[in-house]
Amino acid sequence: MKAYLLLEDGTLFTGRSIGAVKEVVSEIVFNTSMTGYLEVLTDPSYAGQAVVMTYPLIGNYGICREDMESGRAWPDAFIVRELAELASNFRSRETLQQFLLEEDVPGIEGIDTRALTKILRERGTMNGFLTTNPDFDREEAMRRMKAYQVLGAVARVSCKEKYVIPGKGKKVSIIDCGIKRNMLRELSKRGLELTVWPQDARAEDILAEKPDGIFLTNGPGDPAENVGLIREIKKLYDSEVPIFAICLGHQLMALATGGKTYKMKYGHRGGNHPVRDLESGRAYISAQNHGYAVDDKSLDPKVAETRFVNVNDGTNEGLAYCGKNILTVQFHPEACPGPHDTSYLFDHFLDMMEVQHA
């Protein structure tokens, strides 16, 4: 069956329908990872977006559900050059096509994803309309695309009830804005006891449990939209509890302390983004998935200083908070999929909690 992808700028791509047969309007973003499509599809930060994979052959090692980063697929749609029909991998239990059908994710294959990516890079991220109906109403599609915005996505992906993952070590409270399982694994493997709170948790309740550390996760959408959460995070900042935050958590902490975030032209999504740690001068290769960034200049230098920068475009990739035991990063040190270069930051979080107790 044919599928059609119309962009807000009027460009039309015609390909074949994959996955569920469903009409959607979404924000189209591209990811340059060569592998890790299952981790991408199950990363809650993609809620409200449709993902284009720039690597041309996707699905060739099938689906191994243990590799999922959350309990389900989140993107509104999946766009590839060629969907592998055969899954060649001893761990695979099904094909990507079957997975997309089961997870009710529509998609399109057989389009020039390189041309599509160039449009998004040159003109910036934009909305798109995906359909299998050849007679779709173009005006109506345009109107729906113009009106589309990712809204309320953090509440959609966060856990609804608090839960605990036992551990023998220090106690860490996590605010779940769309956590990826590999973050839980990285923290658990260091022996920590994890209490995972929903996104609408009150700072007072979290602090009442006297955690040794607080961890803020990644998550979807515009960080500035989360007004209540930002207010609670300010209270956590005011406490003396060490805090480590990744991606959306990094952006929320900056907003809570007087900083500003802005939407990037086309974001950073992939497994090879170079970041420099300004403390050591070393550059690391990192996995990333973000469309917003913190404007370093908006932060009072007495509140926070830039700790990491992106080597490609100079954007902020991390902040160290002055006089506080707080470190936040824009990239993904848990990196699944991706390089393990920056996983030392989880060990650093343990050190931050030790120092606080000393």
Ligand X SMILES: NC(=O)CC[C@H](N)C(=O)O
Annotated catalytic sites, by residue? 247, 332, 334
Determine the longest span between alpha carbons in the chain, in angstroms.
69
- 194 closest CA partner among 162, 237, 155: 162
Shortest Å, Cβ 31 to ligand X: 11
Whether the Cβ atoms of residue 291 and residue 264 lie closer than 8 Å to each other = yes
Q: Which of 117, 226, 289, 328 binds ligand X (CB under 6 A)?
A: 289
113 lies in the binding site for ligand X (CB under 6 A): no
- Residue 248 counted as an annotated binding residue: yes
The closest alpha carbon to 343, from 354, 335, 353, belongs to: 335
For residue 291, which amino acid is it? G
Residue located via tokens 């998004």: 120
- 221 interacts with ligand X by CB under 6 A: yes
Residue 152 annotated as binding site: no
Binding site annotation covers 219?
A: yes
DSSP letter string over 201-234? Answer: --HHHHHHT--SEEEE---SS-GGG-HHHHHHHH
Question: What string marks each residue from 176 to 215 as x (binds ligand X by CB under 6 A) or -?
Answer: ----------------------------------------
Please select the residue that binds ligand X; options are 291, 318, 333, 338, rule is CB under 6 A.
291
Tell whether residue 75 is a contact of ligand X (CB under 6 A): no
**36 in a labelled binding site:** no
Q: Residue 36 or residue 291: which is nearer to ligand X going by CB?
A: 291
Question: According to the binding rule CB under 6 A, does residue 292 interact with ligand X?
Answer: yes
Structure tokens at 264: 């990037």
> In this structure, how many other beta carbons lie within 10 angstroms of the beta carbon of residue 154?
29
Q: CA-to-CA distance for 262 and 67, rounded, in angstroms?
A: 32
Q: Is 268 in the site for ligand X (CB under 6 A)?
A: no
- Which segments are annotated as binding site? 45, 219, 221, 248, 251, 289, 291-292
Chain residues that interact with ligand X, rule: CB under 6 A:
45, 218-221, 223, 247-248, 289-292
